[in-house]
Amino acid sequence: MKKNKTPILLFTLVLLAALLGGCGGAGSAAGGAADGAGRTAGGSAGAEPAQKASAVQPKSQTYFIFDTVVTVRIYDERAAEQNFKDLDVLLKEIDSRISRTDSSSEIYKVNANSGIAPVKVSPETFNLVAKALDYAKRTDGKFDPAIGNLVSLWNIGHEGAHVPPEEEIAEARRLTDYRKIELNEAAQEIYLQEKGMSVDLGSIGKGYAADRIYDYLADQGFHSAIIDLGGNVYAMGAKPNGDEWNIGIQDPGKERGNSIGTIRVKDKTIVTSGIYERFFIENGKLYQHILDPTTGYPVDNGISSVTIVTDKSADADALSTTLFVLGIDKGLEFIENTPNTEALFITKDKKLYATSGFKQLLHKTNDSYTFTN
């Protein structure tokens, strides 16, 4: 049996976006609550009931990019149509730099020139690859941005995904090696030493985009916004009345928008990687989209989701993937050595493993999930 939920889910969300996400229209947020409560990190539609109406109605826009529904909601009367147009341009610009599949992108050119020649890229792309490489080094390659061959071989989240032949997995695994990514800082060049190697920034790109949106909004003088890239949430600043944002943590066992509880934060990013995002089922076994470079197979370690709370969304995104691959023990150890960062693991058997800081933040509303520590 094969099952692939993503296209249907995306279709539904796009439809929702088309119906509700008018350009800059006052307060027309897709599935959101009146005062910005109830974004669900790891989910897309807001789940929490609307709380007291706030004086400032958000202006919002929904985009579809990076294979994801992106919603930006600005809680400021000054937000104008032009801001949403600028964001559209910004998102397209990011995609046209870091997409693995768009043949005009910088990353595509880096991959196409693997084993042939270094490629000069923009400082943004260079720095993002450098950041991804840092995580690869810190995890001895459990997180590996050179994972493009495995990602395209498994094709998880796309139509027709199935378990590939063993020899193809072995070959893709051989080409997945961050130690063969050469960065030349002075020349701003990236060189992949082996022909056929492929960089994939799917683990960090959406977080990076959230940071870029944040910077744009800050630059325009906005202090209050919810930036949501398919569960990668940046809760910018505070609510217009100065209160904390209330962000739902997706229940990995339920449809998007159902939460296990909420966390109250100001100016933080909340990013979740979960098995429910992109997967297929073959012979009764679920294969999700985070891969273990050492085995070449999807990680299957009892984890349902990992949520990170920190200050930069690119880091949160990389970390959610990293901790997923590392597993609970090594993941918690890793996060202890990462400043200003909190993490929550949810297991398939509904246990919660959290850093002490996350435990303090979480207002759990679902009793079927229990803390183990």
Instruction: Please give the annotated binding residues, written as ranges.
Output: 203, 317, 321
Residue 247 to residue 80: CA distance in whole angstroms = 25
Residue 99 to residue 327: CA distance in whole angstroms = 28
Of 99, 203, 259, 313, the one binding ligand ADP by CB under 6 A? 203
Q: Is the dihedral of CA 348, 337, 230, 99 positive or negative?
A: negative
Residue 129 near ligand ADP by CB under 6 A: no
Residue 315 near ligand ADP by CB under 6 A: no
The nearer residue to ligand ADP, 175 or 290, going by C-beta atoms, is 290
Residue 62 near ligand ADP by CB under 6 A: no
Of 76, 200, 251, 342, the one binding ligand ADP by CB under 6 A? 200
The nearer residue to ligand ADP, 235 or 316, going by C-beta atoms, is 316
Residues 6+ apart with CB under 8 A from 313: 206, 207, 208, 209, 210, 211, 214, 227, 232, 234, 269, 271
Binding-site residues from annotation for Mg(2+): 203, 317, 321
Whether the CB-CB separation of 181 and 145 falls below 8 Å is answered with yes
For the residues of 143-208, what is the DSSP string, one character each?
Answer: S-TTBHHHHHHH-TTSTT--PPPHHHHHHHHHT--GGGEEEETTTTEEEESSTT-B---TTTHHHH
Ranked by CB distance to Mg ion, the top (closest) residue is 321
Whether the CB-CB separation of 293 and 147 falls below 8 Å is answered with yes
The nearer residue to ligand ADP, 222 or 287, going by C-beta atoms, is 287
- For tokens 């990190």, the residue is 41
Q: Could you list the residues that contact Mg ion (CB under 5 A)? A: 203, 273, 317, 320-321
Residue 5 to residue 281: CA distance in whole angstroms = 10
From the list 19-27, 219-227, 247-255, 317-325, the region that binds ligand ADP by CB under 6 A is 317-325
- For tokens 């294969």, the residue is 287
The nearer residue to ligand ADP, 56 or 226, going by C-beta atoms, is 226
Of 6, 44, 320, 341, the one binding ligand ADP by CB under 6 A? 320
Nearest Cα to Cα of residue 96 among 195, 205, 178:
205
Whether the CB-CB separation of 130 and 189 falls below 8 Å is answered with no
Q: Is the dihedral of CA 46, 201, 320, 170 positive or negative?
A: positive
The nearer residue to ligand ADP, 56 or 344, going by C-beta atoms, is 344
The nearer residue to ligand ADP, 143 or 222, going by C-beta atoms, is 143
Residue 151 near ligand ADP by CB under 6 A: yes
Cβ 143 to ligand ADP shortest distance, Å: 4
From the list 109-117, 182-190, 258-266, 318-326, the region that binds ligand ADP by CB under 6 A is 318-326
Number of residues this chain uses to bind ligand ADP (CB under 6 A): 20
Cβ 145 to ligand ADP shortest distance, Å: 6
Residue 228 near ligand ADP by CB under 6 A: no
- For tokens 């058997």, the residue is 349
Residue 278 near ligand ADP by CB under 6 A: yes
Residue 36 binding target from Mg ion, ligand ADP, none, CB below 5 to 8 Å by type: none
Residues 6+ apart with CB under 8 A from 135: 143, 204, 318, 319, 322
Cβ 321 to Mg ion shortest distance, Å: 4
- The residue type of 181 is I
- For tokens 């790109």, the residue is 205
**Residues near ligand ADP, by CB under 6 A:** 143-145, 147, 151, 200, 202-203, 206, 273, 277-278, 289-291, 293, 317, 320-321, 325
